[in-house]
Structure 1
């Protein structure tokens, strides 16, 4: 029914903890369902998963593991461990005491103050690495090109690019990786290093943050996989080819269609500005060096980005394709999480794009029951590129062996897993898309929805919390339907006169808000979080205010 989990020696400590807890969960489920039969019918298993009661208590070992990971993440805690190198955990204990005291600790102290977050000493290390290897190497190639040097430079950049790209992934989501003191350098260094790694200026930001996370692999996402058969190599080649040939046009046109003309102009300007830079360097400086320093990394990166995104969004549930849990996957593997800053926790990232990379394993452990209930997919011992490769050769057996079952998925046989995964890679027809994809919610609404879902799940557990910190369970009702006029009137009473403009677009006061809502229900501003029992409402996605509202229910 299952295959043994593989504990790669290169796993991060957090990934090892996650896998051990999942293994314990699977064992506990089997002990509690010893008379249950294995199943090949995913519809039955999925239905069972949705109706299963939530685990009422966190195990002592899981609670301790979560507490440990949080302490290692907290600079104020005695167990705090900043990440220094991607390849080595707990570096100070591995060095001679004199080296640690005289060299490493002074560097860590400075780097903690230099980085945006004290955990991220590793970003300082990598910036030093790139500016002492990639930049000088590129300069030397332009001054005196040598073919062997050019080949070695490309190999070096290919080795760097995954870690660099995911460092920049943090940069674009967190608006930088350095402390405010170094804000100018933080803004400027990507204009030097991005082209060296194959990125065009700011395109990653515009495509990923302003576009991909808004559309969420939906039908309007330019990198969406839903219109493709995700185990067909010709569909994959079409997907990659379109991105290579047309993204320079597609992305600005996407923003123009959305009425975001300023963003469209900036996205186009950055893309064409980089092309002009390539042309200038090739024409007036050194053509051969330009090919090896800029053009080859550019081509390799774009291929890698599309192959990786294909793997990230290859498995899409045909019934709920707009669910972040069911349209993205989670990986526990060395390449994604040790060398690419927990990029494997892709579902966690889509649930909250601003979540810090060190928090992903913590979030997953705390919410793993929700992941199981929502039929999320988790693989181990395989990365996104290899998932894409296995799909291209239709090797579902390997994928099934790498799958770590969550919740009722543990009831599936290997054959059942194969059929389940095949079901998730089928192409959506235009008719399917019209029926299955709801109107796209705003990113703010998605953030609030996910926050409330997680709070509701936590409230249903009695965990290891005491009475002062435990939240009482509450009834959660998330709806896209517009409220009635009476409900809007009540909400306006909750928020007061000053809050009318936050509830209804352009409203001057309560009376004007009701008038505008009656004229057009689209004037209602979302999201709205309403506590009908206690007579309170919060407009927008102010997380701290929503948490106060929830905490008031203790």
Structure 2
């Protein structure tokens, strides 16, 4: 049965579309890739398991780290940093050892990296861009995540912060947002490729010009420094071992920039043309999906645009406490799928 236009949100008596996406041919036959009203259920029927903070007695390690970090809830980021240092970094170094490089090891490394480390790393970078991990006294340690770890996951230093904090949030997916989706046909892979290719070829030029136009000169300086530092480092490492450099730095760079644009495309796939600046209507929320558990509740994108500094462990409760606002504003909420599934379908 035909679905209503998504321009004005969802059905009057339901907050949620549960996207099961099983009948691909049917989905292709309609303009919006969602299920029929008969398959919907109200949000109050859903058991919530997305991450929330549950206070517990701190371990000795947590008590030690509290000397350095701002928020006890962020100890998970310290654990992730340690895992990366113990797993990803040693394998990457191993690939550079003369005569030790193997394409089979390289494939295993990339699979491990992308499946288990890249998604949580990028969302750790996201969370700590909004809420710095380490105390002001130890501010230099906040450079570990973007400068030292970032290149292993395709992130050039400072550019994520500049693009996300200095441009995307202030512009809110409107026309001055360099990653805005509103000019594109968002069910067209061809339009997505135009979007992605513009970003990967001219994205940093556009961002630099944006900062110049807005007189945000410190952000411009840091972004250019970070991007050029990455290129200089990668060129130098290519002379050491081009194969290892391709696997450890260059392929992740391309993969991550593609993934970030696919994610943003999904986050802002449905925009109410009558209220494009309304965060409830230019973003979506994805609940009760494994992605939220791996990636620090990143699915709660609507509230993230409304309250960017909110800690990720508060988002699920905020959603439940403010269901009336989501319904009043005709917000789009998915259960059981994430932004990348929205992008794909």
Equivalent in the alignment of 1:120:
74
Aligned counterparts of 1:24 and 1:155: Cα–Cα separation in 2: 37
The answer to whether the 8 Å contact 2:291/2:299 transfers is yes
Q: What is the TM-score when the length of structure 1 is the normalising length?
A: 0.52
- Structure 2 vs 1, CA of residues 227 and 310 (structure 1 numbering), >3 Å: closer, same or farther? same
Contact 1:331 1:344 in 2 (8 A): yes
**How far is the alpha carbon of 1:204 from its aligned partner?**
0.4
Q: Give the deviation of 1:233 after TM superposition.
A: 1.3
* Partners of 1:218 and 1:224 within 8 A in 2: yes
Report if the CA contact (8 A) 1:252-1:268 is conserved: yes
Change in CA separation of 1:226 and 1:106 when aligned onto 2, cut-off 3 Å: same
- Please tell me whether the aligned partners of residues 18 and 41 of structure 2 are also in contact (alpha carbons under 8 angstroms): no
* Structure 1 partner of 2:142: 186
Return the alpha-carbon distance in structure 1 between the equivalents of residues 90 and 228 of structure 2: 26
| Whole-Å separation in 2 of the counterparts to 1:350 and 1:158 | 26
Does the 8 A contact of 2:19 with 2:337 survive in 1?
A: no
Q: How does 1:15-54 map to 2 (within 5 A)?
A: 22-24=43-45
- Measure the CA separation in 2 of the matches of 1:229 and 1:184: 43
In structure 2, stretches of 5+ residues that fail to align are: 1-10, 21-39
Cα distance, 1:318–1:117 mapped onto 2, change above 3 Å: same
* Count of aligned residue pairs for this structure pair: 309
Task: Provide TM-score, normalisation by structure 2.
Answer: 0.82
Does residue 325 (structure 1) correspond to residue 280 (structure 2)? The answer is yes
Tell me how far 1:386 sits from its aligned partner: 0.7
By how many angstroms is 1:342 displaced?
0.4
Please identify the structure whose Cα radius of gyration is greater. 1
- Of 273, 276, 279, the residue aligned with 2:235 is 279
**1:287-336 deviation per Cα after TM superposition (whole angstroms, max 9, x unaligned):** 11100100011011011001110000000001111101110011113233
Instruction: Return the offset for 1:199.
Output: 0.1
Q: Does 1:254 align with 2:222?
A: no
Instruction: Measure the CA separation in 2 of the matches of 1:282 and 1:296.
Output: 13
- State the distance in 2 between where 1:320 and 1:122 align: 37
**Paired residue for 1:528?**
none
Question: In the TM superposition, what whole-angstrom CA distance separates every residue of 1:377-425 from its partner, at most 9, and x where no partner exists?
Answer: 10011110110111xxxxxxxxxxxxxxxxxxxxxxxxxxxxxxxxxxx
User: Does structure 1 conserve the Cα–Cα contact (< 8 Å) formed by 2:17 and 2:335?
Assistant: no
Q: Could you say which residue in structure 2 is the equivalent of 1:80?
A: 55
Partner of 2:327: 372
How far has the Cα of 1:185 moved from its partner? 2.4
Question: Residue 225 of structure 1 aligns with which residue?
Answer: 181
1:238 to 173, 191, 194: 194
Structure 1 residue runs of 5 or longer lacking an equivalent are: 8-18, 26-61, 74-78, 83-103, 391-554
Note the C-alpha offset of 1:235: 0.7
**Rounded Cα–Cα distance in structure 1 between residues aligned with 2:128 and 2:299:** 17
- The residue number in structure 2 matching 1:382 is 337
Counterpart residue number, 2:103: 147
Q: Relative contact order, CA 8 A, sep 6+: which one is greater? A: 2
